Amino acid sequence: MSDTKLLSLSEIFNNKIFRIPDFQRGYSWEERQLEDFWEDIQNLSPNKIHYIGLLTVEPIKESDILNIEKWKDDLWLFKKGLSAYYVIDGQQRLTTLIILLHEILRTFSDDKGINYGQKSEWIDRFLYRSYNSIYKSFVFGYEKDNPSDEYFKTKILEQESSTADKYPETLYTANLMFAKKYFAKKLKVLNKESKESIFDKVINRLKFNYYEIDDSLDVYVTFETMNNRGKSLSHLELLKNRLIYLSTLLHEDDETKGRLRRDINETWKTIYEYLGKNKDNPLDDDTFLFNHWIMYFTYDRSQSDVYAEFLLKKKFTSKNVLCNKISIEEIKAYIDSLSKCVKQWFYIFNIQYSSYSSRIKEHIQKLERVGWGAFPPMIMAVFTKESNEDLIWDFLDACERFNFLVFAISHRASRYCSKKCV
């Protein structure tokens, strides 16, 4: 890495643009993290600085993205002398800061100054730059194939986009909106001077340890190593990064590897769309991964989180790819199964949204009342592979009878979910 620098947001956003790459997780901060963050800002004295953590970035060479479709709309920024970077570590804090800055700026009219600068100057520096007064390139955001990209632009930064409706809402986009509303509520009760004080703290007095990764480091391995601070990455989030990394190591042509990478991204879009589809009943990502592992591979309770140990340390490893012990066909089959099964996993716990008949819905509701026992992975498999409702009904009926007799009548404790509860 390059030498560390302790820099403020104003110093970091100095003719630079930042993108969150596709192997990164989305925005995961919830109320607890936002409360701690807001309290830190409130308690910071105007003449003091506050260390906010590590910001690790990877420089993006113009030559590497010149022919990549998703970068074409932003290439003009390079001609303007700006440099581009991928955010490898620190994206949660950085995203939070940008949301807060936007919420502060939107409370000021266009002709009003703030902290000795025009509102337009701060927008140009931290949010987006305009080309020909029509097209905008965003200073900070996600790569274009990330479902959070359009949501961040249109719902969080409130800008127009012709493709805004093409991307689903996910658990991550729900977190983005929660942060936006959280800060809007906090700022609503503050006067102009208080908001200017917070603005000054955010851009000048919160300091990052700023690192730029050099070419000798593997960015995917660096991400796995560094991103276990703050709110820990889920195993599902780590698995996405691992599979994208493995796609670069496969003994295949670049077009094939690129297509697999796109398929991995599409799979995770689908996963997080369905896990967060019911905002009143969001589903846990690692619980889904655990149950899918039982269904797809095997069940072993010999140690805690054995499913993650298997997926990340035994199955999907660089050694297995380099030694030809795992093929592109195996990876493709696995992610295809994840994509299909997450939809059925959603319907198991939100059966009212399914197209199943009333008798199937009634049986699922009965199972909910009696207790799931060890059957969710099996139900997911049946829902995914079987279309005959008579057979599905017979299976659910057997599950209900078993759980009622074993757990309700005999009062035996179910061992299902001793490590991961549904």
Same domain, yes or no: 287 and 178: no
pLDDT at residue 12 tops 50? yes
Same domain, yes or no: 262 and 220: no
pLDDT at residue 215 tops 80? no
Look at residue 133 and tell me if it is in a domain: yes
Same domain, yes or no: 209 and 349: no
The listed range with the strongest mean pLDDT (135-149, 187-201, 222-236) is: 187-201
Look at residue 343 and tell me if it is in a domain: yes
Of the residues 208, 226, 244, the one at which a domain ends: 226
Residue 69 tokens, joined = 């479709």
Which residues are 138's β-sheet partners? 128
The mean per-residue pLDDT over the stretch 159-169 comes to 68
The listed range with the strongest mean pLDDT (223-232, 295-304, 335-344) is: 335-344
Q: How confident is the model at residue 72 (pLDDT cuts 50, 70, 90)?
A: confident
Same domain, yes or no: 251 and 202: no
The mean per-residue pLDDT over the stretch 6-20 comes to 94
pLDDT at residue 402 tops 80? yes
The mean per-residue pLDDT over the stretch 346-354 comes to 94
Total structural domains within the chain: 2
Same domain, yes or no: 282 and 344: yes
Look at residue 242 and tell me if it is in a domain: yes
Q: How confident is the model at residue 37 (pLDDT cuts 50, 70, 90)?
A: very high
Look at residue 421 and tell me if it is in a domain: no
The mean per-residue pLDDT over the stretch 318-343 comes to 94
Look at residue 161 and tell me if it is in a domain: yes
Domain that holds residue 284: 235-409
> How many CA within 13 A on the CB side of residue 278?
16
Please tell me the predicted confidence (pLDDT) of residue 407. Answer: 63
- For 379-400, how does the pLDDT look when each residue is reduced to its tens digit (9 = 90+)? 999 999 999 999 999 999 998 8
The per-residue DSSP string of 290-358 comes to HHHHHHHT----SSTTHHHHIIIIIIS-HHHHHTTSS-HHHHHHHHHHHHHHHHHHHHHH-GGGS---H
Look at residue 312 and tell me if it is in a domain: yes
pLDDT at residue 233 tops 90? no
- For 171-201, how does the pLDDT look when each residue is reduced to its tens digit (9 = 90+)? 899 999 999 999 999 999 999 999 999 999 9
The mean per-residue pLDDT over the stretch 274-303 comes to 86
Cβ-contact 183, 99 below 8 angstroms: yes
Task: Identify the weakest region by mean pLDDT among 72-76, 223-227, 249-253, 417-421.
Answer: 417-421
pLDDT at residue 229 tops 80? no
Kindly give, in sequence order, each residue whose CB lies less than 8 Å from that of residue 243, ignoring residues fewer than 6 positions away: 264, 316, 331, 335
pLDDT at residue 219 tops 70? no
Cβ-contact 63, 219 below 8 angstroms: no
Query: To the nearest whole number, what is the mean pLDDT of the chain?
Result: 86
Please tell me the predicted confidence (pLDDT) of residue 389. Answer: 93
Please tell me the predicted confidence (pLDDT) of residue 362. Answer: 93
Q: How confident is the model at residue 415 (pLDDT cuts 50, 70, 90)?
A: very low
Query: In 10 A of CB 352, how many CB atoms?
Result: 10
Please tell me the predicted confidence (pLDDT) of residue 169. Answer: 83
Look at residue 415 and tell me if it is in a domain: no
Look at residue 202 and tell me if it is in a domain: yes
Query: In 10 A of CB 388, how many CB atoms?
Result: 8
